[in-house]
Structure 1
């Protein structure tokens, strides 16, 4: 007897219903488990650390592994979503304290923009809805492609978005059934520990297991090596510079690498120049330019360059003259005397590096250092330079935006591609010519390409689409989300299984 597709689906639905009923009878749901079996949970997940923060790497990895095994065996998708909802709510409830902690500890960026990023990660990071099961049916049976977890993920977070990355990664990794062990940036270990503890408390309050998210309290290069080498960690995720990505890729394990960038902006003669000026300032000045997606250098067609600079100066920018620019370079840049690689490049031959103390400082701090009182609030410093200027070539992460005049679009595209240094991260263009936009998009080949808006639109801030703090350009996954942290499982039910002889 041949069964129709409807018959097959009916049988499958019946089997799934029976399995779920048996699981409900044996294993309580997340909410029920937290109320009915607190003693059992406390016994299995006796805390060695403080809500996920551990002194020893071995304990952090072991706790995460135990939590993940229990998690995947006993909790449904709806339970995962309940935990994620609790994380979102906890983030929004604690956003003011978190933002202040980040600014105080890292001394980078602006408080208001930290708040905006926390709200963005809490509300626009995808959860379980990102996990889509594919199904194929035909004469030969039924095949389902499921998205399963890796297990324990080892993750590295940057100082530029320390807490935001932890929250963003945790939501995605938990949604996909994983646990995660973080090796956070040492310069953000306190605010990161607060975030990890907050997340664990939120998960437990929603009925979930303790230690789904863990970290080592004193992160170092050695603790990272231990996490990478631990047999329990099946996937590595790194958000940082190219050196970090290279190290993870050489581990022998599956690695997702989110590297640095040096995003160029191209403005052609067809653009809405006033809007371009406003959007460029919005992106380049956000959090004092420490985001890797932020506008780092502008290539503008000469015929509209004066108009662009005029509108930028009318919308919060201060134009440095040659003498002032040289003064900024004297204290914000340092010669690369030891020929070491830093920032967005592994190139040891770079002539300059950015002075660490000036990374992430606001524009007014630079003007105060110069002894300049502009008489108004300034968000961004701009300067006209040649293509070879250090501010063009470095991902300097300061609110100083170099502007390069070009003869035409061809020259703009050529320079922009070179300045991006093959990071394949982010690029922006302001133009009303679709052909021009397409030409640049194809030439630059970046993970994010924003048209006629600030770079922030590329991660869902003033633009459509989900947000992420881990943009995996080097390894090709792109804007990561829950499905990025899964492995595919193909489940095949052959047609012959339904033949009755």
Structure 2
């Protein structure tokens, strides 16, 4: 077999890189365990490899190197966005392929990198003070099945921008595509001169691997994206935790709203990726005087209005009842048309969203389902709508939205609901930079207060003080 000159050059370059990395690892630190571009057979090796990689990263690489590596990660992930979207859909069997492409591109292009780590400086008669954003070290990150590779890409850009390394515990139902994504990013990091194993994972993620990561003294910070039980478990780990929990976002449509726009935007947001995003619209509270007009426009957009019999059938299909209503996970993120087919409604396979009129305490209102089923509650006045929305949101403080032309009405609701994201007159997707201003994130830390996370969220503030007026020219 003959090799082209450029192929030989690439091989030599890679061998030299590996030699350089082995020299760095051969100091006081033990040699890093061998894995498959960051994917390890056991979690202890994944932890150790990422721990050693972060030491190299901090010691041998500058901020400009981080910027170069992040740019390369964005490029390769952008080139593979369609592949990742297809693989996520095939493995998780949730959501919509075309919407997953948009989610991937959002985090690839709109997750801030090292540029957001600005330095604060104060110079005075008593000296010079600098405050900078320093890494925690090794971060343990738990990722969900609803946005598996999107969260890996988002967390990776944010966390390694801050100088950290990451050991991921991915959701078992998306472990193959997550391993593919992680290998892709690790290879890109190495090909661009970065350290091997800057991000790692165990090949077979379980609750035991979560426990191993959260209890390891080498892991300095835990980050969890998913349900509240997981976040609460991490909070008991004794470590600093950044937790992104449940949502169940309510929407209010008042009597001053542009009803046609409200219907269009809510339809788009609630049907996007079959409502898998925690920030997606989950229930609508509409003032009675515009309710008929709103429902008519929702149907005009393409929503299927369930009658009473069909509503009962859908409820029994997608929920389990054992003293309380719980979501039947089999139906999370499934197509609305598939649900209609399951209850005997034929010829509606292209339906993206089901809507239904229900009382304010209906299970579809009170339980976050992550399905394209949108309950609509008629309200007598704005006070009632705000109260019902507040109850449905359940204190998650995640996301809420409102359609109104009355600033006072929107202000009243925003102050009452206290959510991390509050969107006015647009789909809630706008709140994470999809069709709106601002940066993107898949880790919206409401429970622990960091809000929409970025590189700053995964760093610690360090102050450096030069006393006695040093370096001043006045």
Normalised TM-score (structure 2): 0.93
Aligned-partner Cα distance in 2 for 1:375–1:160: 25
Deviating beyond 6 angstroms after TM superposition, the runs of 4 or more aligned structure 1 residues are: none
Residue aligning to 1:172: 158
Aligned residues, how many? Answer: 455
Give 2:329's match in structure 1, choosing from 356, 363, 386.
Answer: 356
Give 1:41's match in structure 2, choosing from 11, 18, 21.
Answer: 21
Return 5+ residue gaps in structure 2 as ranges: 1-12, 26-30
Aligned-partner Cα distance in 1 for 2:349–2:343: 15
Confirm or deny: 8 A CA contact 1:316 1:377 kept in the other structure.
no
Specify the SS of the correspondent of 1:193.
helix
Confirm or deny: 8 A CA contact 1:259 1:474 kept in the other structure.
yes
Instruction: Report the CA distance between 1:37 and its aligned residue.
Output: 4.7
Specify the SS of the correspondent of 2:466.
strand
Instruction: Report the CA distance between 1:212 and its aligned residue.
Output: 0.2
Instruction: Report the CA distance between 1:370 and its aligned residue.
Output: 2.3
Confirm or deny: 8 A CA contact 1:417 1:443 kept in the other structure.
yes
Q: How does 1:345-384 map to 2 (within 5 A)?
A: 351-373=324-346, 377-384=350-357
Confirm or deny: 8 A CA contact 1:262 1:395 kept in the other structure.
yes
Specify the SS of the correspondent of 2:267.
helix
Aligned-partner Cα distance in 1 for 2:469–2:427: 56
Aligned-partner Cα distance in 1 for 2:465–2:16: 37
Instruction: Report the CA distance between 1:372 and its aligned residue.
Output: 1.9
Residue aligning to 1:340: none
Give 2:279's match in structure 1, choosing from 271, 293, 299.
Answer: 293
Q: How does 1:305-344 map to 2 (within 5 A)?
A: 305-337=291-323
Instruction: Report the CA distance between 1:293 and its aligned residue.
Output: 0.3
Residue aligning to 2:384: 411
Aligned-partner Cα distance in 2 for 1:332–1:381: 13
Aligned-partner Cα distance in 2 for 1:144–1:284: 45
Instruction: Report the CA distance between 1:378 and its aligned residue.
Output: 1.9
Q: How does 1:94-113 map to 2 (within 5 A)?
A: 94-113=80-99
Q: How does 1:10-409 map to 2 (within 5 A)?
A: 37-42=17-22, 44=25, 48-337=34-323, 351-373=324-346, 377-409=350-382
Normalised TM-score (structure 1): 0.89
Instruction: Report the CA distance between 1:99 and its aligned residue.
Output: 1.0
Specify the SS of the correspondent of 1:382.
strand
Instruction: Report the CA distance between 1:495 and its aligned residue.
Output: 2.0
Give 2:421's match in structure 1, choosing from 434, 448, 465.
Answer: 448
Specify the SS of the correspondent of 1:314.
helix
CA RMSD, 1 decimal: 1.6
Give 2:464's match in structure 1, choosing from 465, 488, 491.
Answer: 491
Residue aligning to 2:452: 479
